[in-house]
Structure 1
Amino acid sequence: MGETIQTLPQEAMHESLFLSGSLALDLVNTEIIVRDKKRDMLSSTAALARWWDEACEQHPDDCHFVVLEKPINWNTNLLLEVKMLRTVLRTLYTCLIEQQSLDEDTFEYLNRILALGYPALHKTTAQSVKPVIRLRDPQQGAIILPIALSALHLFTTKDQQRLHVCKNERCILFFYDTTRSGTRQWCSLSCMHRSRSFHNYHKNNVATHA
């Protein structure tokens, strides 16, 4: 039986989770480094529900583009599906950044997710409609389809040269560079400062011992 979770106001998710500029990248960034150890921010169905609530606040157009006819059933199978998608997207983004060959099997996996929905028109007022995606099954694809659509948008309409991993060697977060110069190197200013402080400390320590 699915787990019923009430996503009442709780402690905010880690500050770094929504800095990427993309819903799909934000999912990948739910794996972070804290004190030199990898931490999974989606450790439970409750954590997934809370992350999704905040993700929808950050990316309302992506989340609400897919019409949900029933409440999301927060269960272990859904959590595993989301984590599988996260693994696939991390692999694809890494290949793009490092200019490696892309595995067709991973694209087939994404295509299977994209096939869970179909384009439709939704009536908003008496004289207007908007394009939406409807699920072929009321439950399947409730979260993974919007994320896959976000990934599709990033792959097909964005400049892939602006997709980066944070330059901080102690960080594994991805981001899409929206600066005019296209020279952003860190996921955030705080991460840049931590990286520079670490290197300055290491440099000074080496000089002292020398």
Structure 2
Amino acid sequence: MTIKAEQQKLAPTALIELYEVTLKEAPANEEPFRFHTGTSGLNKNVIWRGNEYVALPIETEGFDINTQGSLPRPKLRVANVNGIFSALLRETEDLIGATLTRKRTFVRYLDAVNFPDGNPSADPTQEFPADVWFIDKKTLETRYLIEWELASAYDLQGVKLPRRQIIQNSCQWNYRDGNCNYQGSYFDKDNKPCLNKKDDTCPKTLKACEIRWCSVGGGTAILPFGGFPGATRT
């Protein structure tokens, strides 16, 4: 069952929000800090796409986007248990400039390892489009609570548009990285299945993206294509 079909059910399974924080100018091989709020009923660490997300006392608000008024400024709050986060802030300049990615999926699609009897519905391709925000400023820090204000990529001082070149049929993501997110079978440069990892590559076309994602999503996956297929010459 696809995520769209699950969303339209009268009683869908719980929606879970997963967060990833990547420090500003972090090395390319450095793993992001992954966590979730535990509000979906899973008050424990969870595994999604083989990555562990730590359950933390987190509260978020303000992610709703409308077509009127100013851009949203979501808030992220975390309980400052034993001053752990205060110590982290001193080492990372209050996390200012860090990237926060919010991923959303339903509990039924989480990895089978999360459930004692496995999970036949586990599907790493079923998720809503990820939201990317930037930690813009720290608005509160006490012995009990820390709060940050987030900003979108279009709401940061000094940012100019467009942020990247508009190319019609050439994906600008790095193959299998955090934006591409493809973790399926190997394909060669001609979009043919292969067994050797060293031959695994992507020609960065829309067709290549469709072939790879349809191999794991059964033709129903949302393509994270990094190009602009609708762009035309004026």
Shared fold per TM-score greater than 0.5? no
TM-score for the superposition, normalised by structure 1: 0.24
The structure with more strand, counted as a fraction of residues: 2
Q: Taking CA–CA contacts closer than 8 Å with sequence separation of 6 or more, which of the two structures ends up with the larger relative contact order? A: 1
